[in-house]
Amino acid sequence: MADVIKKATRESYGEALAELGDKYENLYVLDADLAAATKTGIFKKKFPERFFDCGIAEANMMGVAAGLATTGKIPFASTFAMFAAGRAFEIVRNSIGYPHLNVKIGATHAGISVGEDGATHQCNEDIALMRTIPGMTIINPADDVEAKAAVEAAILHDGPVYMRFGRLATPVFNDRETYKFELGKGVKIRDGKDITIIATGLMVNEAIEAAKTLESEGIDARVINIHTIKPIDKDIIIEAAKETGSVVTVEEHSVIGGLGSAVCDVLAESYPVKVTKIGVNDVFGHSGPAVDLLKEFGLCADNIVDTVKKTLEK
């Protein structure tokens, strides 16, 4: 596995904006003094006249994006997930969500894998917050290929979109040549009949690795990638519950209100089965190297393997 290419999805975000800037002349990028970190600086370098730094003022940035959108422009408002979904929540709700404006929110540095900066910057609540806003589309891409495709899908979708990107470089497992992004559609990455692992974002690759280990131990696990958390692909989830009996969800987010909750909402209503949620268990993170933190919080293939086995034992 030495030749696995790794890339942070924030990098994919910045590159995609720069690549798509020629094709979509209506695309504008806003940032809040984090262009070097969110990677919108890549766009800024190529299209300086279409990039506007709003300074450290995320609330105003979201409002400015809303105003731009009322005039037909497509603004990408970029900052860390903590500030996009957290600090600016009410502006996103009232100035973007309620008027259903065509604003795209590029939220980077999501989850515990922010690493050394610690709990203040590790946003494990953004999916939960954004899910409650009517009409908000939420995309949490799993790797570089998917992240780039998601940015174009967001442009083509008319309405507010929240996109979640990571700071940590993670394996690129999708095939750039054949990959097709379908908004709102889950992806069955691996078929299986014993149990289903439903993962999102950086956890999809961990789920794939876990399934390989489980296979060697005689457990046939299905793996589903939910890149669009809202609207969620109910069919693929219900089908998995029917065909495999139990479900494990994995996300780099609080177990409250994220993918696991969304999956439970679908299954509780339509086809109740046992669901075990892997995520951040209602605690704050802390400082440390990202990879070590992911292991510590159980956001890794080993813990998925253990959890699947325990779920099947019950």
Partner 1 sequence: MDASIKKQLEITACKIRMGIIEGVFNAKSGHPGGSLSIADTLTYLYFSKMAVYPENPDFEDRDRLVLSKGHCAPALYSTLAERGFFSKDELKSLRHIGALLQGHPCIHIPGVDMSSGSLGQGISAACGMALSGKISNKPYKVYTILGDGEIEEGQVWEAAMFATQYKLDNLVAIVDNNGLQIDGKIEDVCSPYPITDKFEAFGWHVIEMNAHDFDDIERAFNEAETILNQPVVIVQKSIKGKGVSYMENNVSWHGAAPNAEQYEIAMKELNETLKGLEG
Closer Cβ to partner 1, 72 or 218, answer by number: 72
Query: By CB under 8 A, which span of 70-78, 189-197, 205-213, 293-301 interacts with partner 1?
Result: 70-78
Give yes or no for residue 158 binding partner 1 (CB under 8 A).
no
Window 87 to 106, contacts with partner 1 (CB under 8 A): 90-91, 94-95, 98-99
**Residue 267 and residue 173 in contact, taking contact as beta carbons nearer than 8 Å:** no
Q: Does 246 bind partner 1 (CB under 8 A)?
A: no
Of 17, 64, 136, 168, the one binding partner 1 by CB under 8 A = 64
CB of 209 to partner 1, least distance (A): 44
From candidates 16, 27, 68, 221, binder to partner 1 by CB under 8 A: 68
Distance between CA 309 and CA 39 in Å, rounded? 40
Identify which of residues 30 and 300 has a Cβ nearer to partner 1 in the complex: 30
Residue with smaller CB distance to partner 1, 59 or 238:
59
59 scored as a contact of partner 1 (CB under 8 A): yes
Shortest reach from residue 50's CB to partner 1, in Å: 8
Please say which residue, 70 or 281, places its beta carbon nearer to partner 1: 70
Q: How far is the CB of 64 from partner 1 (least distance, A)?
A: 4
What DSSP string describes the chain?
-TT--EE-HHHHHHHHHHHHTTT-TTEEEEESS-HHHHSTHHHHHH-GGGEEE--S-HHHHHHHHHHHHHTT-EEEEEEEHIIIIIITHHHIIIIIITTT---EEEEESBSGGGGGG-GGG-B-SHHHHHHTSTT-EEE---SHHHHHHHHHHHHHS-S-EEEE--SS-EE--S-TTT----TT--EEEE--SSEEEEE-TTHHHHHHHHHHHHHHTT--EEEEE--EEES--HHHHHHHHHHHSEEEEEEEEESSSSHHHHHHHHHHHH---EEEEEEE-S----SS-HHHHHHHTT-SHHHHHHHHHHHHH-
Catalytic residue among 58, 125, 146, 206: 58
The reply to whether 70 sits near partner 1 by the rule CB under 8 A is yes
User: Judged by CB, which is closer to partner 1: 68, or 198?
Assistant: 68
Task: Report the distance separating Cα 259 and Cα 117, nearest Å.
Answer: 24
Binding mask 11-50 for partner 1 (x = CB under 8 A): -----------------x--------------------xx
| CA dist 299 → 58, 295, 304 (Å) | 29, 6, 8
- 213 binds partner 1, rule: CB under 8 A: no
Q: Give yes or no for residue 163 binding partner 1 (CB under 8 A).
A: no
Among 37, 46, 47, 57, binds partner 1 (CB under 8 A): 57
313 is catalytic: no
Pick the stretch among 68-76, 171-179, 224-232, 298-306 that binds partner 1 (CB under 8 A): 68-76
CA gyration radius for the chain? 19
- Nearer to partner 1 by Cβ, of 63 and 258: the residue is 63
Q: Decide if residue 71 touches partner 1 (CB under 8 A).
A: yes
Site of interaction with partner 1 (CB under 8 A): 28, 49-50, 52, 54-55, 57, 59-73, 75, 90-91, 94-95, 98-99
User: Which amino acids are annotated catalytic?
Assistant: 58
